[in-house]
Structure 1
Amino acid sequence: MTFSIQNIIQHLNAKTSGSFSDFIVENVSIDSRSLQNSNGTLFFALKGSNHDGHDYIESLITKGVRSFVVEYIPNNLEEKANFIIVENTKKALQETAKYYRNLFQFPIIGITGSNGKTIVKEWLNFLLSPDFSVVRSPKSYNSQVGVPLSIFGINEHHNLGLFEAGISQNGEMDILEEIIQPSIGVFTYLGSAHDEGFSSPSEKLLEKVKLFKNCKVVVLEQNDEIENHIACKKITWSFTNKIATVFVEKLLENQLKVNYNSDSFVVTIPFSDEISIKNCVTCIATLLHLGISLEKIQERVANLYPVEIRLQAKKGINNCVLIDDSYSSDYQSLKIALDFLEQQKLHQKKTIILSDIFQSGLPTERLYEKVTSVLQRNNIDRIIVIGETISKYLSELNNVIGFQSTSDFLKQFNTQSFQNETILIKGARSFNFDEIVVLLEEKNHETVLEINLDAISHNLNFYKSKLKPTTNIMVMVKAFGYGNGGFEIAKLLEHHKVDYLGVAFADEGIELRKAGITLPIMVLNPENSSFSAMIAYDLEPEIYSLSGLQEFIKVAQQKNVNSYPIHLKLDTGMHRLGFENHQIQDVISILKETNLVTIKSIFSHLATSDDTSFREFTLEQFSRFEKATSTICKSLKISPIQHILNTSGIFNYSEMQLDMVRLGIGLYGIGNSEEENKKLQQVGTLKSIISQIRTLKKGESVGYSRKFMISKETKVATIPIGYADGIRRSWGNEKGYVFINNQKATILGNVCMDMLMVDVTNIECYEGDEVIIFGEHPSVIEIANVVNTIPYEILTGISQRVKRIFFKN
């Protein structure tokens, strides 16, 4: 992607500061943290409710970026860079993408729907790439910002585009349609996703079909309601309606007979679930419209594969972290994966295992020049390349090791050479890099807790939206990140530039420091015996007692430190920890006599912020806090950070936000009211598999103590997860359930230490099938209500022997 900046300036009707006469745009960026920013970057300083890209311009200038699209020029920077000044930078990004899109005239397929957009896009890419030079939106880049960024991946060598469009409210699709300008439309499925942004499903449908207003043809499952709102030609498919353009008959579980015009042919598909079959038929109908031969359709469809659209961070052997992106290899997604590598790196040493890169649309030599440049900008320590082409073009780099094939790498490479590093594994599917992942991933049993990093970012931004821009935010990562994972979440929070992390004990903070976390860390339950270690690792203690204060001052003196930051905890009604009102003068007296410590913050904890029926008590706590804090600050002539709000406090009492708030359980997708939960996204999904299925007869029993007696023939599945993994025994004996193939399977008998058994009599399932222990259904909140506890206890109870997998869409 290169284009003239002068044309963009005219297109935007923008003012300028500086000289753009010789600037050619090589990269468009909105992320100041990306290592791919360089002197060829045009940076759009987007403003949102929780961030302002203008704040990072100065640091970008120091990294070599010289060209910016802004709404204003930050103080003292006018002479240091070149600026294009517009009213709205997001709109300018979209308008720039429209201009760039208009430079190309080849057909583009626009894909929308509630579900299946990314799967259909990736499958169409696989099915059409042998006949076309395809450009497609990377991953799930289908938003108001993601679509423009995707468009900049087009180059003059492409002759077909695949772009998905996602919306969450009225008015968004018109903008995306003008950017994508599809001539062919694909509608995947109309479901409940994003219903909350519309007054009715009909309103959402009307918004979605705006993508097709200038299309020549739209492919969709036969549906009168949807078709009535599409004016152009329609290619419909159906399993029941023979007058559809494509009529499909099921012959076997994974074999379909396709009837189109006067032709009939049979396809074998490598899936048996209903959703995958429908997505597959949508692709077949699209290929038929494009004139792909029946023989090619039969051959290619048989080779379709499950699409992993998420970047996953996994625990590797020898204290490594693996970034698993082993199913795609194109230049656009490589840049995204490298940014994720930088975000999730546990160690300074970075390794990439990379295959030949396909579908770039660029001449081979130019492609690998760009690949070389982006790898060097990301400071990759070791580059392992697999494939004849990439080995040839990257061979002159000092840190490159080349192999002709994946099997050559597996035969020759010693796994012990991977130690204490972060490894990005990225390859085209044909290279079978999943074998490398198996080799380098730490072996655990088949139960995993999947953590959605995008959901964490969403939840963080939701709570930020309740705050003033000047309010600091501390995020609690104690108790192994509420059971979700410590370092990985802390790294994400560091990426989002939160102000503080909070842990319960010093050893948690020490582990984060050892993992490379540099954010300020507050220890909320410090033991006196840990004070020396805290100073050694730059951890800041909560001080809540006179004895603790005196002991820390003593240790500070021994360590020869001055003005060491501490945080005073006041008890305003929680009656757990903290200085009581009658102790305030003693605290002041001690602090007046020393310069060994400095009060970084004063805070308290609300006892009933989650229950607004106790509003008067909460207001009284706040009043007590203000009075005590005022006394301390006046007496010591200081202005420390003040904070009292926890998660539910942010939601219910944002007027009390003061200088900082402390975000805890809400980050992990759990609020304290139905209203709050509607705003949050599910973060953790606990999964396992079916180990064995057996059929039991009347009179037999299941599990210890024969707690469940069979009253009629029952099919029972055993799942390898139990109370040693954190599943409450009280969730057993028909009180709880798991989800298998989108159906409830009731837990039978007692939960065992390492296993539980469920009723699958009416569920079509097989050994090895996936089992959802909790996630959307059942939710952690639902489980907590049934077993008479709180969601915190369910989350933090998940054993660390359960492998955590972190992913980003």
Structure 2
Amino acid sequence: MINGNYHIEKIAEITKGKLYLQNSKNSTINDLLIDSRKLISTHDNLFIALKSNRNDGHKFINELITKGVSNFLISELPNNFSELDANFVLVNDTLLALQQISGFHRQLFNIPIIGITGSNGKTIIKEWLYQSLHSDYNICRSPKSYNSQIGVPISLFQLRKNDELGLFEAGISEPEEMLNLEKIIRPNIGIITNIGEAHHQHFVDMRQKINEKLMLFVKSDILIFCKDHVEIANRIYDLEFFKEKKLIVWSKKDKDSDLYISNIKTDTSKSLISGIWNNRSIDIEIPFTDEASIENAIHVWVVMLYLGVSADTIKSRMLMLSPIAMRMELREGINHCSIINDSYNSDLNALAIAISFLKQQQQHEKRTIILSDILQSGKSDNELYSQVAQIIESNSIDRFIGIGPGLKKHKNLFKIESHFFESTQEFLNFFPFSTFNNESVLLKGARNFEFEQINKYLGKKTHQTRLEVSLDAMLDNFNYFRSLLKPKVKTMIMVKAFSYGSGSFEVANLLQFHRADYLAVAYTDEGIDLRKAGIKLPIMVMNPEVDTLDAVIMHNLEPEIYSFKILEELENILSSRAFPSNKPIGIHIKIDTGMHRLGFNADEIEELIVRLKSNTKIQIKSVFSHLAASDNSK
């Protein structure tokens, strides 16, 4: 089990669940799956059917069984469960059971585990620790910012027998959440970064928030923190359970700290940080000048000092710290391609996450992956690249390009169209870039392969000034507004004018993947473009011109009907022509309530009702209006 390979019976034992064993041939589990859309490899998965206010994982069980998933952790049995070729573990709370599984898994490992919490800097410190230590240890770490009640157990379950160090971050938004995460991570070494205002509305005061964060370290041996954050330091010194722990303190003010920062000198591109450790002067140089990066780097410095890394090694590695690309970059490429640049990290889990994002892109039928050798995986090359080949083959990838001696040596493992190169430079010199045409291309490379050169070649040439749109920020906004709605209330998102200049199919793909209910556009041609880009969501057209109604019907769009004239034109078309679909066409009725921006008047409603009732080829999807005084509470 230290290498995965849990039998479904063991899962039932850990979670105290009731086992329904109906497929004993496929009852071994190596991976946990919580999102049916992110299925990468069909075998050896345990799907955890989580429930939220707006979704229920149980709805996707039948779909996953048809895709080959055989093991499910559930809180309610499907109606037809006895007919399904699958195994089920029935529990009261699937989230709690997920945490129990990973908590059990964590206890099998007697290696240093570093737990990181705080309001800011968690992911950067974790990634900089990885950059600085991966040459010395096989490291398992949280993917990206997986630090929630769900993300932490998913992260910890990645631990395998070859791992020598774990790096995991923990974030909370409400009281009592951290104790759940502590039972899973159980860090030997703790880092608390700082405390800010995020999620402050859920806590009585700052003191309570700090106390909650510190619960991550109740069983830790060592805690690293900056004494200059006075509120944090005071709580640490006051709490009883820290009195017997080793506290490693750094400060810019207190000369008696374990690491006293005596001087920080910055210029335009780097900072020289000098300090005193064990009564001797030491220094590092980092390629950053902002205060946040300096503080994050000092936390990394202290960990390396504690772990006994030599001063010369620390200096060379700190100078090589690179910015953390927190998100994948989606950009327009040559020959009508879409380029996904993800150089954030390079391991099997990161590859799976990137492929999931690649599969969201519906604007192109063809998909290509350019991947470098995966370094420091802890696996033999044959095992590693066999897994890579299996992931590639099972995810409808059309073309694979492998760069690096490891991939090239194992090229016979790859069954789809594949090309292999010893180095990035060899690829740039000899690969015909003209073959990239109207496709989605994923770049996934380890840092020393310098895939930024490939990204430069593939990217469409642009001016120096550019506007970047954060799809993650957009998703956060969408989820925030959706959280304010009752569970059965649907959402329609306006994406007219290329999503107000933010990108048409990019935004639409994001919304489709995250289960928005409807899109709306201004004109028919915008809806047609989205259909051509693979968008299958219902789409309302707000200003359908009469001569485009045929196209509206042919592309399964839903017109806004705001006058008898356009209703009559639609009725005439439906009665005089045959269309591929016999289903009624969905329409959206607009009522004029005083804004006078199109719409039926109040005295036309009765006639409208009669007309609509008499036509079985039309189905009303919504009735709406532009409110004339929406800001007036009266």
Q: Does 1:166 align with 2:171?
A: yes
Residue 531 of structure 2 contacts residue 555 of structure 2 at CA under 8 Å; is this kept in 1? yes
Query: C-alpha displacement at 1:590, in angstroms?
Result: 4.0
The answer as to 2:289 corresponding to 1:272 is yes
Matched, 1:537 2:555: yes
1:647-686 alignment runs, 5 A limit: none
Q: Deviations over 1:410-444 (max 9, x none)?
A: 11122221111111101111111111111111222
Q: CA deviation at 1:593?
A: 5.5
Contact kept? 1:155, 1:362, Cα under 8 Å: no
**Equivalent residue letter for 1:480:** F
Displacement after TM superposition at 1:351 (Å): 0.7
Kindly tell me: are residues 589 and 9 of structure 1, through their superposed partners in 2, closer, same or farther at Cα, counting changes over 3 Å? closer
Local SS of the residue matching 1:408: helix
**Partners of 1:50 and 1:461 within 8 A in 2:** no
Paired with 1:600 and 1:360, the residues of 2 have a C-alpha distance of 56
SS where residue 456 of structure 1 aligns? Answer: helix
Pick the aligned partner of 1:569 from 581, 590, 600: 590
State the shift of 1:591 in Å. 4.2
TM-superposed deviation, 1:25: 0.3
Correspondence for 1:42: 46
Q: Which moved more, 1:338-347 or 1:507-516?
A: 338-347
Question: Which residue is 2:35 aligned to?
Answer: 31
Residue type of the alignment partner of 1:465: S
Aligned pairs (5 A) from 1:162-561: 162-223=167-228, 224-230=230-236, 231=242, 232-250=245-263, 252-253=265-266, 254-397=271-414, 398-561=416-579
What do you get for the CA RMSD once the two structures are aligned? 1.9
Match of 2:603 among 576, 579, 582: 582
TM-superposed deviation, 1:301: 1.1
Match in the other structure for 1:79: 83
3-state SS of 1:118 partner: helix
Secondary structure of the structure 2 residue equivalent to 1:228: helix
Counterpart-to-counterpart distance in 1, 2:306 and 2:282: 15
Instruction: Work out whether residues 321 and 345 of structure 1, in 8 Å CA contact, stay in contact via their aligned partners in 2.
Output: no
Report the equivalent of 1:138: 143
Please state how far the C-alpha of 1:608 moved relative to its aligned partner.
5.6
Change (3 A) 1:610 1:140: farther
| Alignment partner, residue 51 of structure 1 | 55
Question: Gaps (5+ residues) in structure 1?
Answer: 615-809
In the alignment, is the contact (CA less than 8 A) between 1:18 and 1:79 conserved in 2?
no
| Maintained 8 Å contact 2:259/2:275 | yes
Question: Residue deviations 1:710-736, cap 9 Å, x none?
Answer: xxxxxxxxxxxxxxxxxxxxxxxxxxx
In structure 2, relative to structure 1, the CA distance for the partners of 1:362 and 1:197 (3 Å cut) is farther
Give the 3 Å change call, closer, same or farther, for CA 338–479 of structure 1 in structure 2. Answer: same
CA contact (8 A) 1:135 1:361 kept: no
Shift of 1:571: 2.6
SS of structure 2 residue aligned to 1:33: helix
Q: Does the residue aligned with 2:235 lie in a helix, a strand or coil? A: coil
* Counterpart residue type for residue 273 of structure 1: D
Aligned residues, how many? 613
- The amino acid that maps onto 1:239 is K
Once residues 447 and 200 of structure 1 are traced to their aligned partners in structure 2, the CA distance between those partners, rounded to angstroms, is 43
Letter in 2 for 1:91: L
The answer to whether residue 20 in structure 2 is matched with residue 7 in structure 1 is no
CA distance in structure 1 between the aligned counterparts of 2:227 and 2:453, rounded to whole angstroms: 40
Q: Aligned to 1:604, which of 624, 628, 632? A: 624
Q: Which residue of 1 aligns with 2:93?
A: 88
Moved more, 113-122 or 193-202: 193-202
Asked if structure 1 preserves the Cα contact closer than 8 Å seen for 2:227 and 2:249, the reply is yes
CA 1:391–1:176: 2 relative to 1, 3 Å = same
Per the alignment, in what secondary structure is the counterpart of residue 542 of structure 1?
strand
Distance 2:361 2:621 in 1: 30
More off after superposition, 571-580 vs 327-336 = 571-580
Aligned equivalents of 2:628, 2:193: Cα separation in 1: 46
1:124 aligns with 2:137: no
CA distance, structure 2, for counterparts of residue 209 and residue 428 of structure 1: 34
Cα deviation 1:254-305 (Å, max 9, x = unaligned): 2222321033223222122221111111111110011111121112111111
Which residue identity lines up with residue 533 of structure 2 in the other structure? A
* 1:26–1:41 Cα contact (<8 Å) kept: yes
Q: What letter corresponds to residue 236 of structure 1 in structure 2?
A: V
1:114 CA displacement: 1.0
State the percentage of identical aligned residues.
Answer: 44
How much has 1:17 moved relative to structure 2?
1.9
With normalisation by structure 1, the TM-score equals 0.73
**What is the CA deviation profile of residues 640-699 of structure 1, one whole-angstrom value per residue up to 9, with x for unaligned ones?**
xxxxxxxxxxxxxxxxxxxxxxxxxxxxxxxxxxxxxxxxxxxxxxxxxxxxxxxxxxxx
The amino acid across from 1:464 in the alignment is R
**Matched residue, 1:726:** none
CA contact (8 A) 2:363 2:532 kept: no
Normalising by structure 2, we get a TM-score of 0.93
Return the alpha-carbon distance in structure 1 between the equivalents of residues 438 and 589 of structure 2: 38
1:341 Cα deviation (Å)?
1.0
Contact 1:327 1:433 in 2 (8 A): no
Q: Give, as a single letter, the amino acid of the residue that structure 1 aligns with 2:368.
A: T
Alpha carbons of structure 1 residues 171 and 24: separation in structure 2 relative to 1, 3 Å:
same
Moved more, 168-177 or 252-261: 252-261
Question: What letter matches 1:341 in structure 2?
Answer: L
- C-alpha distance in structure 2 between counterparts of 1:390 and 1:264, whole Å: 45
For 2:484 and 2:505, the matched residues in 1 are separated by 26
**Residue 345 of structure 1: CA displacement?**
4.1
Contact map agreement 1:115 1:190 (CA 8 A) in 2: yes
The amino acid that maps onto 1:138 is P
Matching residue's letter, 1:124: L
> How far off is 1:138 after superposition?
0.8
- C-alpha deviation, 1:32, in angstroms: 0.7
Residue 195 (structure 1) shift: 2.0
Distance 1:267 1:527, change over 3 A: same
The one-letter code sitting in structure 1 at the alignment partner of 2:294 is: I
Check if 1:99 corresponds to 2:104.
yes
Partner of 1:66: 70
Against the structure 1 CA distance between its residues 99 and 396, is the aligned structure 2 distance closer, same or farther, given a 3 Å change threshold?
closer
Given residue 452 of structure 1, which amino acid in structure 2 is its aligned partner? S
CA distance in 2, matches of 1:119, 1:589: 63
Contact 1:571 1:577 in 2 (8 A): yes
Letter of the 1:581 counterpart: A
**Are 2:22 and 1:16 equivalent residues in the alignment?**
no
Letter in 2 for 1:33: R
In structure 2, relative to structure 1, the CA distance for the partners of 1:594 and 1:345 (3 Å cut) is closer
Report the Cα distance in structure 2 between the residues aligned to 1:118 and 1:174, rounded to whole angstroms: 20
Amino acid aligned to 2:165: L
Match of 1:154 in 2: 159
Partners of 2:362 and 2:535 within 8 A in 1: no
Which range is displaced more, 205-214 or 227-236? 227-236
Q: What does 1:718-737 correspond to in 2, within 5 Å?
A: none
* 408-417 vs 456-465, greater mean Cα deviation: 456-465
Q: Matched residues in 1 for 2:173 and 2:611: separation? A: 56
Displacement of 1:36 in angstroms is 1.3
**Alpha-carbon distance, 1:606 to partner:** 5.0
